[in-house]
Amino acid sequence: MATTEMNFDGLVGPTHNYAGLSHGNLASMSHRGAVSNPRAAALQGLAKMKALADLGVPQGVFPPHERPALATLRRLGFAGTDAAVLAAAARQAPALLAACSSASNMWVANAATVAPSSDTRDGRVHFTPANLVSNFHRSIEPPQTMRTLRAVFRDEERFAVHDPVPGGSAMGDEGAANHTRLAPAHGQRGLHFFVYGHRALGPRRASPGPSRFASRQSLEASQAVARSNLLGYSRFCFVQQNPGVIDAGVFHNDVISVGNENVFLYHDQAFVNPRRTIAELRLKYSALNRGAELIVIRVRSSRVPLADAVKSYLFNSQLVTVGRGRMVLVVPSDCEETPRVRKFLDELVAGGDTPIEQVRVFPLKESMRNGGGPACLRLRVVLSDAERRLLPPGVVLTETTYAALVEWVKCHYRERLTAADLADPSLLAETRTALDALTQLMGLGSLYPFQQVPGRK
């Protein structure tokens, strides 16, 4: 039975704006207060999805969350009609309104950590949604993420969608952005590589942390995810991220390394002990796959300084398989605009000694200004043909669904959005109308709580 990796991208939501909410994400912080274009952001994301589908990479779509999050604002003490809640929040706590209006759920690399059926003890595909406790605006996402995952992966005999890891900041989990699966091919046994920033419950001296920006992923949370996803001991390893790169703006591991099948590309400053990390990966990968060799591509600081890696999002690229032993690296246009990164990529492809045969460049400025590149926008899910046939047809990107989604965006999204617009009751009405239409288009039913209000048609 054929098994392939399917990339599920998050649709950018109608409230896409620049509130600079993500401390430690330099791009997000630097664009705070800028005017956004939700329509352009959504169309840029869809164009990337379509291009990958055209390359032969199976492509799925996750719908955005409802924003502004009125239920959260009400729990925070704002009362009255929807319009009254928005007006009071804008007047009394504009930062809370901005947080409850964030479209950050488009970065579905943080939605969950996934283990395919070939790797799990019960033979099901497992999803553990991230708790995202490090940032308030993201911590409100898990309930809707679970509803979406359970609507898309609805067959409980084949799929298991767990609750997030509990435990507050000590158990912070940011999902697949700190997880990489390595295997000779997607359908073969995989090694799950978890990267953490700190130990939450052990001796502090044994795990030095960053000093400027907080670590978002704990070792204990990564271990809990591995247990939740029913991974055997031989199938995973845990490695600490270099605290220095976190302080330099590497808030997730997918900003400093990327892997796909038998290829692992990383910056030489990525880990606390890079030599030991690579040795462990090679050893466990080989032991799991009968002596197979992992292809490791080390990017030296002398070729691509850390600042250039963070600025360009070189490692927040999508490394995808387009044929047997053939891969394409999907990068943001910022890589082309950063001279040393562009030179590295040219030499990588010209060398011909790795499976990476092509680099594809995409303009994702709207997402990049908020701190999310190509890898942030997708969740990787390895599925067999039988498992893929169980998905609702409307979540699979085809020529027909792509055209329908483009028209949906053009019909419902604004071209300009400012912080003041977040208090506009008509924006909430527009968003709900858009999501109503989207759930029908995608065949997902009543996915949002606002659709289930008694008496609502």
Active-site pick, 198, 220, 376, 412: 376
Between vectors from CA 195 to CA 48 and to CA 346, what angle results, nearest 5°? 45
Distance, CA of 294 to CA of 90 (rounded, Å): 53
Burial profile 402-434: b = 16 or more Cβ within 10 angstroms, e = fewer: bebbeebbeebbbeebebebbbbeebbebbbeb
Contact 9, 52 (CB under 8 A): no
Contact 446, 452 (CB under 8 A): yes
Active-site pick, 16, 186, 192, 252: 252
Please name which of 178, 372, 143, 199 lies closest in space to residue 258, comparing C-alpha atoms: 178
Q: Active-site residue 376, yes or no?
A: yes
With 0-12 CB in 10 A as exposed, 13-18 as middle and 19+ as buried, what is 75? Answer: exposed
Separation of CA 434 from chain center: 23
Distance, CA of 327 to CA of 115 (rounded, Å): 22
* Amino acid at the residue 97: L
Q: Active-site residue 252, yes or no?
A: yes
Upper half-sphere CA count for residue 223 (Cβ side, 13 Å): 12
Distance, CA of 174 to CA of 432 (rounded, Å): 27
Active-site pick, 5, 141, 174, 387: 174
Please name which of 352, 315, 320 lies closest in space to residue 332, comparing C-alpha atoms: 315
- Catalytic residue ranges: 174, 252, 376
